[in-house]
Homo-oligomer: A and B are copies of this chain.
């Protein structure tokens, strides 16, 4: 129903990003669900860095995912409710929570890896690698352009 020309004609950059972002998020969750896994893309985004580092403070997670501290709080709330992570108070700095994966969290992480890979392939289907490179480059530039100097 939607061909490439009409999409580009009717939609500006913001709307295109908005739609592509929602489509990817939705497809990831659908693919996870088909594999019997219950996880959102944002939960996955947070899980990754914790796995990579063994643990991470909420501040560090926010920095790595470019997420607001409020969002991190609530995502960790959800992950904790699902018994995928635990908040452990930092012994040195009592303001800080170290967030670590439970065994269930580690298991889920491994289970989701192929789902992520499948989604990635569906997203990139029929798009030349060099265009993907430029695409990622432009995204990075946009993020940097808008990073909060604000003035």
Which A residues have a C-beta under 8 Å from some C-beta of B?
1-4, 7-8, 10-28, 30, 41-42, 45, 64-66, 119-120, 122-127, 131-132, 134-147, 150
Contact = CB atoms under 8 A, between A and B. Distances in A.
A118 to B, nearest CB: 12
Interface of A is mostly: helix
Nearest to A6: B140
Contacts of A142: 20, 23-24, 123, 127
Given A7-B144, A8-B137, 15 more contacts: A2-B144, A2-B147, A7-B140, A12-B120, A13-B123, A13-B124, A17-B21, A17-B24, A18-B66, A20-B143, A24-B142, A27-B146, A123-B142, A131-B137, A132-B138
B145 A125 contact: yes
